[in-house]
Amino acid sequence: MNLSGIIEIVAGIIAAVVAIVIVRAWITVYNKFIYWRNKLEEKFAGIDVIMQRRMDMLPALAQIAKKYSIHEYKTLTDTIKARSIGSKSKSLNERVKAADEIENNFLKIQAVFERYPKVRADALYIKMMGHGNVTNVERKLQQFRLTYNRVVRDYNERVQRFPRSIVAKVHGFKKAEYLTLGNDINQGPQETYNPKELFKD
């Protein structure tokens, strides 16, 4: 066998080895994206359970608003309607936006109700809002929000960082939305805060 034949064989072996390394690296990165996407879903599932408690309260709040002719009644009914339309079939980012919308509307209506002494004295309102029910839900939501946003931060970093960004683009892994839940910390450019400080344990 002449020298050129040997060079071709060696080049072929090197090319095959490089191809195998690239394919294995690609598969590893892809599987990591699957892991992080599943982790996002898992963390959001906890939020979804708590948001369902909010949703369970909204029809009763809507009835109270209607009873006292409070114009925010329509805001509540719109929120209930929006949540009920195929929420499980929506993408994670759409569900995050829906959760933010529900919580923002809930906080708005809560603030409105605080201006009506008659509402605050209503038996149903006292039953729902009393005994720290709302405070406990809010505390849990904020804990879940911080935990979820930590995962979003790590996931988004992987989506954006080269060369992982190539795998992300090819397989449709997109940046995840931060969850605000009435908290302005993640609204606006993400560069305005220091993630390490925000997410201290």
Mind giving me the DSSP string for 51-108? Answer: HHHHHHHHHHHHHHHHHTT-TTHHHHHHHHHHHHSSGGGS-HHHHHHHHHHHHHHHHH
Is pTM beyond 0.75? Reply is no
User: What would the pLDDT profile of 41-63 be if each residue is shown by its tens digit?
Assistant: 999 988 888 888 777 777 777 77
Could you give the number of structural domains in the chain?
Answer: 1
User: What domain range is 29 assigned to?
Assistant: 3-198
- Report the pLDDT value the prediction gives residue 190, as an integer from 0 to 100: 36
User: What would the pLDDT profile of 111-144 be if each residue is shown by its tens digit?
Assistant: 878 888 888 788 887 777 766 667 777 788 888 8
Q: Which residues of the chain have pLDDT under 70?
A: 1, 71-76, 78-89, 130-133, 183-201
